[in-house]
Structure 1
Amino acid sequence: MNSMKLVKKPREGGSVVRKSIISSLLAIALVTGPFTALATPINFKDVNVNAIEYRHISKLSSLGVIKGRGDGTFGSHDSVKHLEALVMVMRFFGLESTANASHFRLTATVEAAFGGQVPEWGKGYLVTASDYAFLGPQERFRWDEGASRAWVAKLLIRMLGKEHEALALNNSALPFTDAHQIAPTDRGYIALATNLGLIRGNGDGTFAPNRTVTRAEMAIFLDRAEKRMDRLPPGIEEATIIQVQEGALSVLNEKRLLTSLSLDNQARVFIQERQGKVGDLKAQDKIRYIKSANDKIVYLEVIEEGTSVSPQLRGELLLHNSEKGLMTIRVDDGFTTYALASNVKVINLQGRTLTTGQLTAGSKIQIRLNSEERIAEILVEESGKQGSEGTIVELSLKNQILILSDDTGNFPTYVIDNQTEVEYGGRRFASLEDLRKGDRVSVEADGQQIVSKITLLQAQNQGNIQGTVTLIARDSRVLNVKSEDGQLYAYEIPRNTDIEFSNGTTALLEDIYSHDKVTVHLQGGTVEKIVLHKTAETKAIWGKIVSVDIDRRLLIVRDRQNELKSYEIKDSVILDISESNPRLSHLKVDSIIEFELDDGKVSYITIKDTQDGIVTRVDSDRNILAVRDSSGNVTTYAVDTHVEVELFRRSRPDLSDVNVDDTIRFRVTNDKVDRIYVYSKLAGEVTDVRISNNRIYVKDTNNVERSYTISNNLKLNIDGITKPTISDVEKHQWAIVSYLGDKAESIFIQPFTRGEVTNVEVDRGRLTVRNYDGTSKTYSIDSNLKVEKSGTTSSNLLNISTGDRVRLVLNENERIYRVYVARKVSGKVDGIQRTLQEIYLSGSTVGYLIEGDTYILQNGLRRTFEDITHNQNVTIYYLSGYKAVEVTLP
C-alpha cells in the first residue's frame, strides 16, 4: 500500500468532518503520534475515595486526560476554562500530539479573537479543535473564561459526531423551569445531551445553562460520553474475564482471543460504580481497563457482571451421558454428577462456542450452576485427547510431532514415536511413513498428548480438490477446504505455491477469504497451486472515501472489510459525478463510491446514490434515521417528510414501518433521506420445481405458495455449488427468498442434511445426528415438524430411533422442519447400470439410484459408485423414488 496521508476538509464542510471524526479517529491517532503516556492513577489529596467523582477522576487520570495541579491536588470544585475543556477533549481522543505539533499555526488574528495572550501550551489545542470542528466556524470566546454547561453540552455532542442529530431537535420542548434562559441555538444540543444522559438537570428542575462546569463535573461528563461512543477512546480496552489469578487475569479480548493481563499493585477496581478489589472479579465479567506504560492494568471497571449465580467449580469430565443430559465430573473431594440446563453454554479458552457433544472424557473444565443446580455454563480449559479426529497438517518423524486441523478450527499437537501404532485401511505392517499431509485420521492419546494409535479415516487426494474455504490462517499459512462431496481437508501452503484468480491473473494469500470457491492442485500431498474462483477486482470496487490528496493524486478508501486501501489516481481519471465541471475536490469524505482500476491506478469514479446499512434508531415523529454501515460507523440522517418506503408485504409503508435492526438501502438527496428500501426475507419449503420454465414454487410457514422465475434479475444460490441451475434444486428443500423492497433479489436453497441418528431426546425436542460430512450436531425441532417414516407422517420424534438414516430439512434457524427416515434393504448386487447410476439386488426389479451425494462406506472409508461390484453384499438406506442416501459395502 502507498503511504497514507489524511486530509482535513475545509471549514465550510465542518459538519461533514464531525460526522467522520469518530470513524477516522484510530487512523488519525496512528498518523499523528502516540497517545498521552499513561500512568498509575494519581492520588489527589483533595479527592475523597467516597466522592461521586472519585471513579471518573481515577479513570481520566490513568488516561492522562487530567493531570491535576502541581501541589498534589486536583481542584474538583474549580471552574473549567474553555481552553481547559478543549484540552481534556483533545487528550480523550488521543489528539494531544497533534495539538502540540500545531501551535505555530495559530495566527495573531485568530488568537486575538479568542481573547489574546493564549498560553503557548494551549495554542495547538485551539487549532486542532477548529480543524476537527469541535468549534463552530464563527464560534469565538475568551479562552480563560469559565465554560458554561450549555457550551460543554455542545462540545460533547460535537465530540460524538451527533451535531446533525442535535440540530434536528432545535424546536423540541425542554423540561427545565429555566428553559427560557437557553439560547435558541443551544436548545437542540442540550436536548440531545440530556436524552443521552451526558449532562442531567438539577434536582430543582433547572438546567442552569450559564453555570460554569467544575473540573469534577468535566471528568464525569467525559466518562459518560465514552458510553455513547461507537468506538472506545485510545488507551481504553474491553475484554471478558475467563479466569482470575493472583496478580493476573486471563481474558478474551475484543477479537475473542485469549490474552493474559497483569495487574499493577495499585490498580483501582470498580464494580459498576462502586469501588471493589481484584477478589471481587469473576469469570464472565465484562470489563474495560487502562494499562500503564509498563503494560500493567492500573484502572479496571466491570461494565457488565457475569450472570452466574453459584461458585465456580473446576474438575475433569469423566462421563457425558447425552441421552440423559448428565455429566459426571471428578473434583478434589470425589465424583459429582450434574444435570445439564436446557440452554447450557460451552466455550473454550480461545473463545469458540462448542456443543456438549464435542466434550470428551478427560477434558479439564470449569462449570457454573444455575439456581436449579443444573450446569448452565462450561469453560473448557483443556480438551480430552481420546478419539480426536482431524486432517494432518504437519507430520515430522524427525521431531516426533503430529499436528492436526480439527473440525472446530483448532490445531492440536501430539507426540509420536516408534511405539505409535498405525492402522491404514487394512494395510499390513503400516507405519508412520505411510501417512501423508492431508490424510484424515483419528488419534488415540494420553493426557500428555503422546499418541498410542493413529487410524486412517480418509486418504488425502492426489490431483485436484474443488471446494469452499472454511478457514484461512494466514500467519500459519494453513487452508481448510470443504470439498464438494462434504469432506474436510486442511493444507499447509508452501511459500512457493502459485496462487491465481480464475481469469489467470496473479493472486495473493491475502486475497483468499472464508466461503471463497477454490481448486487446490496437489502433487505428492503438497499444494502446488491454488485457483481462486473469482476475478481480481478491477471494476465496481466499493469504498468509503477517507481522504483525497489532490496534490499527490492519492485516493484513500475504507473497504467492506473495514480496511484502509490506498490507490494512485490517473491524470485522465473520469469523474462520473453530478457536477458541471467535475474535479477531485468535489469528492467528499465519507462519500460512498465505486471505481475502476487501469494498470493499478484509478481510472473511473462514480458516486453511489444509494447506501446500505442497518438501522440503529428511527424516530418517525422527528423524521430522524440512524444507520450503521458495514464498517460499524453510525450516522444520523434527517428524513424527507415525503420519503418513499418500500417494504415487502406492506401496503403504502412509511417511516414508522421501518424498525431498528432492519437492513436497508437508502438514498440521500440534498442532505435528506428521500428513499428507503427495506431488506426482508421469506422462508419456506420448495413444493415444485419446473425446469422447463425456470420456475420454483415455495410455500411459506403461513401456507402461502408463491412462484419465482430464476433469471439474471433473480439469482439462485446453493451452498457448495459454484454456478447452480434450477436442475440442482429438489422438492422439499428449504428456500430463503431475499427481498429488496417489493422485489425478490435472490433465492438461497439450503441443501438437505443427511446422516445417522445417534440420540433422540423426545421430551426436549432434540435430535443428534452424525452427518455424512464427519461432524455431529444436535438439532432442535421446529413447531411445524413433520416426520415421514415407512409411509406414515407424525408431528413428533417418537417414531425415530437411534441408528436411523435420515434426511433433514432445516429452516433458516437451523431447526428441523421435516425429517425423512430412510428405509433399509440388504442383498447381493445382481445388476449395475453405470449410465443411470443404478444398482439392482437379487430377487428385485427395482433399481436403486446412487447419486453423487450418496454416502458409500466400506470398512470406515468413503467410497464411490465405481467401487460397487457384482455379487457384493450391500445394505442400502433409501428414500422415496428409491434414492439411496447411504450404501454400506462389506
Structure 2
Amino acid sequence: MRISTKETTWMPIELCWKKIMTGALAVTLVTGSASAVLSSPVAVHAAALTASTPFLDVNAGHWAEKHIAKLYFQGIIDGYKNTADGTSTFKPEKSVSQQEAVLMALRFAGLIDQAPTNSLIIFDESFVVSEFFKSYIELAFKEGLLDREEEYALAKADTANAWGSKPASREWVTKLIVKAIGQQAVANQLQNAASPFQDASSISTRYKGFVNAAFQLGLVKGMTETTFEPAKTITRASLATLFSRAQSSYPVDYEGQQSGVVSDLTSTSLTVYNDGKETTYALDSNTVYFHFNSEKPITKDQLLEYGDISVIGKDGKALYVEVESDTQHTKTVAGTFDRYNATDKTFYVWIDNKAQLFTYDESLVVEDADGKTVAIDTIKRDAKVTIVQDTFRKESRTLKLTTAVAPNTTTISGMVQNLDKESITILQDGKNLVSKFLDKSVTVQIEGLPNTSVSDLIPKVDVVELSINANEQVVAIKVQNRQMNKITAAQIINRAQDDKLLTVVDSNGKNAQALYITDATKFVYNGETMTRNAAMILLSQFKSIDISYSHNNVIILEFVDKYKGELVTVNETDQQVTIKIPSGDLITVPYTRAYIDLKDKPSATLSDLKKGATVTLDLVYDQFLIFQIKIHTNVQYEIVSVDSVNKKLKVKTGTEAAFELSTTDIEILKTDGTKGAFSQFKAGDRVNASYAGSTLEKLQSVTTSSNG
C-alpha cells in the first residue's frame, strides 16, 4: 500500500475533498492483501487491448468499466497481480470491509495525511479494528465521517463479527460517502422524503436520508431500476462506481489530470486550453474515451472539438479522456466578404451594413461549401461567407472561414465518353468533346448509390455535371440521369453476349427486363463485394439474385440464397410461399418438399406456419426453390450458472429444467440493444434468446444482477 507523507493543514470537511491528490495515493481498494498491484498504471495498461482497464476480469462492456478505468488512471485504485505471468485482476465482485471503505473515503476526501501517528488509540472493547486501520478510523470519527456512538452501538449489536472486517453494506457505505463530500445537510433535508426504490422499507431509518441524498446527487442508481438492496454488501466495482460518480458533482483535482476546452484535435494528439495555457497530449491505441452522460466507452471520433473535456495524462500521453459537456464553445456569424490583408493577417466582412475586422493566424481553416480547402486569396469580393470564432479565450480566435460558393469554380455538363484514373472526357452539347484532368480528391455523387468513386461511372450512359477549379481540374462529379430501380428475388432466364446481357423476371415470373452488365457493375455475396471473375462463376450457378439497375444497366448484382421476412400466405395448391421482406416488397417462392425447422418440434409441418410469423426461406442455390423454412421464435431464460471457460450458460424456463446453451458464434446484445460480451451474463439474470428454427442466433440481456 502507498501512503502519502505530504503534510496538510486542517480545513473544513466540505473543502477537503477539493485537495489535489498525488500519485502516492494509489492503493488497492482492498488494502489488506499483499498481492496488490503496485506497478505503474501506464506500464500495466499497455497490455490492455480491448477493455479500458488492464484487468483481465473487467472486460469491455463490464457495467463498471468506466468507473474502474477512471479511478485506476487517477491512481486511486489498483488490482491484484499474478506474479507468474504478470497479468492483473480487479476482483470486481469481491466485498469490501468497513475499515477498508473508511480508508478509501479518507483518501477520496483528501484527509488521509491527517491521520494521527505514534499515538495510543483505544476503542470500546466491542469495537474491533485491525491495528493498521486504527488511526484512520479515529480520524474518520474526528472529521465526522463516522459517528462514534452510532458505530459503537452497531459493533455491540453484532459481536459475532469484528466491526472492521465486517463486509460493508450498501446503505452504510452510502452514508459514509455522502458525509465525505460534505452533504449531510442534504441528507437531513431528505430524511422523510419519498424514496425512489420499492424496497425503501428495508432501508434502516439512520440511512434513509443518506440514500435519498445519494440518489438525488447521482451517486447511486440501485441494484435494479426499482430496488436498492440496502443490506447487500458493497463490492469493489460498486465502491469504485460510487467514488467515480461523486466526482461528477464534486470534482477532485488529481496529479496528471486537468479539465479544459479542446482547442485542437488531430489523429494523434489532443490539445486542452485552460486558463490561458494549452497542453498537448499524445493519443494512441491505449487511450480510452468516455462521455459524462454514458457508462459506455466512446471513440475518438466522438470527441467534440472546442467542447469541455477532462484528461488524465502521464509523460505527455493521454490515458483517460472524458467529454464533460455537449456544448461547443464557438459562435458563428455570417456576412459578405470585402477584402483581406495578408501582411497583417486580417480580413473584413460586411455584417449588418458594417465592415467588421477579423484577425487570423496559420491555424485558420478556409473552406468552400463542400468542405474543400481553399486559399483565402481566392475568395471573391461580395461572396457570402460564414465565420466561426471561439468563445473560451479572452480574445476570440477566428477558427474557420467558409465561402458559400467554391472560389473560381465553374461547371460544365455532358455525357461521359472516356475516363481513367487521371482524366475524364465528356461530350458537351452533343457535339464537343471536352477532356479534363481529375483532382486527387475528386468526389462522385450518384443518387441511390453510397460510397461512390470514378470507377462507378458508366461511359456512353452517364450524363454528368463537372465542377472545375481554377487549375482546370475536376473537383466534383455529379451524375444527373441515374434513376435507380430494383428487382428483389429476380430470376435469370437468359444470358447472352458473353454474360454482358441478362434477361431477368421478378419472383412471380413477370416484369421481364433485359439488362447489361458494365465495367462499373458491383457484385455482392453475403454482404461482401467480389471480383467480376468470381461473380461470373456464381452467375452460372445461382438462379436467384437481387438486382439494382438504372436505365438498362446493372449497377449492383447481389447473389441470394435466403430471404427473411413476415409470412403473408402459404398456397398449398400451387406450392408457393409469399413473404414481406424488410423493404416492404412481397416475394413469392415455390417449394416441393420444404423442410419446416421449428425449435422443439422436429416434426413441424406447413400447418405450423402462421400468418405474420417471421420466417427465413432457405433456397436451393441453383434453383429458385425453397428447400427449408425456418420459423423464428423468442424464448426468455433465467441464467442458472455461467461457464466462462467454455462460454456456456446453464439456463431454465418456468417449464423447462436447466440445460446448457453454447454462445459460440452467436450475437450477444446488452439490454439497450448495443453489442455486448459474454462477461455481461451472471447467474440470476434473464436473457431473451432468438432462434431461427432450431438454431440459436442471438442472446440479449433483459436484467443484470448488478449496476452500481
* TM-score between the two structures when normalised by the length of structure 2: 0.42
Judging by fraction of residues, say which structure has more strand.
Answer: 1
Bigger RCO of structures 1 and 2 (CA < 8 A, at least 6 apart): 2
